[in-house]
A = this chain, B = another copy of it.
Amino acid sequence: MTRERLYLFDTTLRDGQQTQGVQFSTPEKIQIAQALDALGIDHIEGGWPGANPTDSAFFDEAPKTRATMTAFGMTKRNGISAENDNVLAAVMNANTPAVCLVGKTHDFHVETALGITLAENIENITRSFAHVTAQGREAIFDAEHFFDGYKSNPAYALEAIKAAYAAGARWIALCDTNGGTLPADVGRIVEDVIAAGIPGDHLGIHTHNDTENAVACSLAAVDAGARQIQGTLNGLGERCGNANLTALIPILLLKEPYASRFDTGVDRDALLSLTRVSRMLDEILNRVPQKQAAFVGSSAFAHKAGLHASAILKDPTTYEHVDPATVGNARIIPMSNQAGQSNLRRRLAEAGLDVAAKDPALVRILERIKDREAQGYSYDTAQASFELLARDELMQMPDFFEVKRYRVTVERRKNKRDQMVSLSEAVVVVKVDGEKKLSVSESMDATGCDRGPVNALAKALAKDLGIYTEIINDMHLVDFKVRITQGGTEAVTRVIIDSEDGQGRRWSTVGVSANIIDASFEALLDAIRWKLIRDVKK
């Protein structure tokens, strides 16, 4: 069988931004676009130029991508020419190689939502796509409510998409905008559309997860002949989200009949980064990654049932439909049983700690991790804090210095120019080498902006650690994440700090407390100790 090309269209930056509570900044949009491009996505829909400042700014600063950068907008409004529609003009002025315009195909929406005649709507579609293609752009028709429209008035729904196709649209994306169409109907209707004369390799599918069938509906459309899938990373999107590319991509690359039938822009090498890309997006959104997410979730290959765990040890294919490594994920076998302990030993070895299989410290470390996680700690990402905890149990944790006390003050008052300004000041008292050191710092940065109390504490702590001051000189904080979590019954703050040093090392530490300053300070201390373990000459 000759292999066919299947195209992937990502709308994380447009429809994904419709997720409640999600608001990307321009730098975040750029970072995500670069990740999508590295993955091998064909189209990146960057947003709606003119609709809001961040979207406009993104297209101004948009990174060079191999993927086709696409601007989103809507077909021209009634009663104005495409040339004179300023909303459409703003979209065209983003100068992207591709332009995707949403338009109506459902008679009910034309009359109820737009309040224009069915004929006027067809005319608006035709003129809009003639305009886009005349300017040499690749045109994509986002056929809103197509499936509901087809159910209510098939002739009109087909007339609408044929108008766009005739006017030069390269892709007709059939949208199940409200997410209510089930897979069997999607398949049947896509077959009808192809029978009505629009070739499958010009048809895209855009689904939503309102019945938890967005992935299945996308596959049903491909089975029926559609050749473009629109979706988002981690299934972000309006209401219940869009079709989840993080699930669809591995299905298309690893599962039959798709794996042997289709080529996509994503190859097996890029697939190895899928889990990392998914977690990166969660980091940007400061969301707890969904443990049970298909393929990329931390539980996706976790085998808890006793029968499963023991069979997995004989042969992983007994309970895994794909190898976790192919998507950059890892198998988890609960720490509780024998296999769990070998997991722990592997993780310790990664930190350079070799522990014998029967060492009783293993059980103590597992117990301590369980207790700490019950208090709200999390060691999945905070590998450096995990190492310090283990070293402590293994009596391999040097006490470099002791913090005797600290005090941090945040003051907000009027300045001479009668503006409210704030300033933080931190005093830290440490004992190093039997010597007591007092250090004080404030939170003002070079630009005269107050960076807050944690910044002041970090500076005071680093200011004088005696013989260690030099060593931690090249170390700096690259990220700081705060989450309110449950510690037993009380809500506590979990702070995770990412640090980096001059040798390009990067490590994460965690602190937990009802007091956010204490939690941050604990994570800071771990970060410094981890660095000292590596760089202090023995």
Contacts and interface: CB of A to CB of B under 8 A. Distances in A.
Contacts of A303: 238-239
Residue from A54, A108, A518 whose CB has the most chain B CB atoms within 10 Å: A518
Interface in A294-316: 294-295, 297-308, 310-311, 314-315
B320 A178 contact: yes
A449 B255 CA distance: 54
A215 interface: yes
Contacts of A51: 306, 338
A308 to B, nearest CB: 7
A479 interface: yes
Given A212-B247, A213-B219, A410-B517, 14 more contacts: A20-B299, A21-B291, A53-B337, A108-B318, A178-B318, A181-B321, A211-B294, A239-B301, A286-B484, A286-B486, A409-B410, A422-B517, A449-B490, A483-B483
A211 B247 CA distance: 6
A238 B304 contact: yes
A405 interface: yes
Contacts of A480: 484, 491
A210 B294 contact: yes
A45 B517 CA distance: 37
A378 B23 contact: yes
Contacts of A293: 240
Nearest to A301: B239
Given A235-B292, A238-B303, A453 B212 contact: no
B216 A213 contact: yes
Interface of A: 17-21, 23, 25, 27-28, 51-54, 74, 102, 108-109, 112-113, 177-184, 209-213, 215-216, 219-220, 223, 235, 238-241, 244, 247, 251, 255, 286, 288, 290-295, 297-308, 310-311, 314-315, 318-322, 332, 334, 336-338, 370-371, 373-374, 376, 378, 380-381, 403-414, 422, 424, 443, 449-454, 479-486, 488-491, 493, 513-518, 521
A514 B370 contact: no
17 contacts: A113-B315, A177-B319, A178-B319, A183-B219, A211-B295, A215-B216, A235-B292, A286-B483, A290-B290, A404-B413, A407-B412, A408-B410, A424-B515, A450-B518, A480-B484, A482-B483, A482-B493
Q: From DSSP, what is the main secondary structure of chain A's interface residues? A: mixed
A410 B338 CA distance: 36
Residue from A210, A215, A480, A515 whose CB has the most chain B CB atoms within 10 Å: A515
Number of copies of chain A assembled together: 2
B294 A209 contact: yes
Contacts of A491: 479-480
A28 B486 contact: yes
Contacts of A177: 319
Nearest to A371: B53
Contacts of A513: 422, 452
A338 B215 contact: no
B410 A405 contact: no
Contacts of A235: 292
Nearest to A381: B21
Contact of A411 (B19, B25, B371, B405): B405
B314 A453 contact: no
A458 to B, nearest CB: 13
A304 B452 contact: no
Given A223-B184, A251-B182, A292-B241, A311 B113 contact: yes
Contacts of A290: 290
A410 B515 contact: yes
Contacts of A406: 411-412
Contact of A517 (B286, B308, B371, B452): B452
B216 A489 contact: no
A186 to B, nearest CB: 11
Contacts of A286: 483-486
Given A338-B51, A406-B411, A19 B112 contact: no
A9 B53 CA distance: 51
A290 B9 CA distance: 26
Contacts of A408: 409-410
A513 B410 CA distance: 13
Q: Which 10 pairs from chain A and chain B are nearest by CB?
A: A180-B321, A216-B216, A25-B486, A452-B515, A405-B413, A212-B247, A286-B483, A482-B482, A20-B299, A212-B294
